[in-house]
């Protein structure tokens, strides 16, 4: 049952599985590519500020998949049919969270390599960046899932979710990008702690939001 759910969710959201799921990764690389054009090709400036740009690109890329993440399955009645089969909303959302992270976290980390080359980032910075993204993207995925579930039944949900994600993702951004400025991996521990908390809450919050959306 869980395996069937995960397989379906992954086939819907994984990049290059079709349905425009590769867009966040393409967007992420595009931001890294445009940045040197905007600030000039000076390697010093780029390597000093590039890490932060990668973080902002990751944050923005996390917003892109939110539109379809939950609302489509509410409209299709998938969650209702699963509920009738005894699957709780919490399990549905936990599986969705895993699929969502798998389809945007690791691909984004892979895309960080070409992005680092474009931004002239050195080895230690790339190392911290990857570590930070590994710790931070689950948290971004969790925030995204909660927001997508909360705004699923609203008409302007898609635009709203982008606005809602940014302030909530601020702690992850501060500690994640802060690690780069100080070249210190300690604050990545904070990022991991925030992520852990968000991942633990997300299935319950999103599940409750889906139940509440039924009682209109």
Which spans of this chain sit near another protein (rule: CB under 8 A)?
1, 3-5, 7-8, 12, 18-19, 75-78, 80-86, 214-216
Question: Can you say whether the dihedral through the CA atoms of 147, 152, 158, 160 is positive or negative?
Answer: negative
Measured from the CB atom, the residue of 85 and 155 that comes closer to another protein is 85
Shortest distance, CB of residue 91 to another protein, whole angstroms?
A: 12
Q: Would you state the structure tokens that stand for residue 19, as one six-digit string?
A: 């349905």
For another protein, the closer CB: 17 or 186: 17
Residue 69 CB, shortest distance to another protein, in Å, is 14
Number of H helices, E strands in the chain: 10, 0
Residues 6+ apart with CB under 8 A from 89: 79, 83, 206, 207, 208, 210, 211
| Calpha distance 37→23 (Å, rounded) | 21
Closer to another protein by Cβ: residue 17 or 163:
17
Q: Shortest distance, CB of residue 96 to another protein, whole angstroms? A: 14
- The residue among 103 and 125 lying less far from another protein, judged by its C-beta, is 103
C-alpha distances out from residue 163 to 21, 58, 78, 156, 187, Å: 21, 15, 27, 11, 26
Closest distance of CB 75 from another protein, Å: 7
Task: Select 88 or 183, whichever has its Cβ closest to another protein.
Answer: 88
Show Cβ contacts of residue 46 under 8 Å, excluding neighbours closer than 6 positions. 35, 36, 39, 119, 120, 121
- Cα 33 to chain center, whole Å? 20
Contacting residues for 43 by C-beta, under 8 A, at least 6 apart: 120
User: What is the nearest approach in angstroms of another protein to the Cβ of residue 101?
Assistant: 21
By C-beta, is 48 or 211 nearer to another protein? 211
List the structure tokens of 55.
């973080």
Least distance between another protein and beta carbon 15 (Å):
15
């Amino acid at each position: 049952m869980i395996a069937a759910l995960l397989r379906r969710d992954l086939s819907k959201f994984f990049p290059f599985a079709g349905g425009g799921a590769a867009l966040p990764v393409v967007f992420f690389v595009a931001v890294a590519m445009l940045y040197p054009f905007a600030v000039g090709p000076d390697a010093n400036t780029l390597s000093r500020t590039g890490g932060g740009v990668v973080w902002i690109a990751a944050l923005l890329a996390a917003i892109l998949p939110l539109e379809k993440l939950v609302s489509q399955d509410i409209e299709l009645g998938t969650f209702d049919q699963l509920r009738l089969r005894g699957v709780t909303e919490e399990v549905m959302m936990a599986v969705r969270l895993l699929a969502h992270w798998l389809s945007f976290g690791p691909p984004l980390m892979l895309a960080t390599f070409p992005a680092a080359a474009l931004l002239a980032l050195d080895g230690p910075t790339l190392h911290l960046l990857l570590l930070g993204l590994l710790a931070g993207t689950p948290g971004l995925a969790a925030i995204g899932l909660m927001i997508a579930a909360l705004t699923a039944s609203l008409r302007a949900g898609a635009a709203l979710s982008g606005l809602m994600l940014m302030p909530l993702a601020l702690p992850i951004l501060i500690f994640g990008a802060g690690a780069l400025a100080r070249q210190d991996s300690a604050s990545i521990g904070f990022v991991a702690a925030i992520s852990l908390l968000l991942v633990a809450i997300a299935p319950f919050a999103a599940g409750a939001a889906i139940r509440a959306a039924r009682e209109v």
